[in-house]
Amino acid sequence: MPKFVIEREMPGAGDMSNEERQGGARLSNEVIDKMGAQIEWVHSYITPDKIYCVYIAPDAESVREHARLGGFPADQVAEVKTIIDPTTAEA
């Protein structure tokens, strides 16, 4: 199944409390439970004013639907075509 990176514009994201992060994660998990096994949240990176999330889903529309149902922004949704890391240079 394809992997997606979602960019969420969220001013002050880096200043969220543990409780706020937990609440957001809980809400995301609840929406995923309602949507079924078609979508999986892998992890997220929190920067000062944005959150970048990695999801596995059948298509970008499923990712956008998750955002809509959860009330999350999804300013950019991009399909990951491949992954590289330092070991890529060794191949």
CATH of the domain at 7: 3.30.70.3090
The mean of the pLDDT values for the chain is: 96
pLDDT score of 68 more than 90: yes
29 — pLDDT class (breaks 50, 70, 90): very high
Q: Are 42 and 83 in contact (CB under 8 A)?
A: no
How many domains does one find in the chain?
A: 1
- The position carrying tokens 């004013």 is 49
pTM over 0.85: yes
91 — pLDDT class (breaks 50, 70, 90): low
Encoded tokens for 46: 């929190």
Q: Which residues constitute the domain of residue 74? A: 3-90
pLDDT score of 53 more than 90: yes
68 torsion bin: left (phi>0), alpha (psi -120 to 50), beta (else): alpha
pLDDT score of 67 more than 70: yes
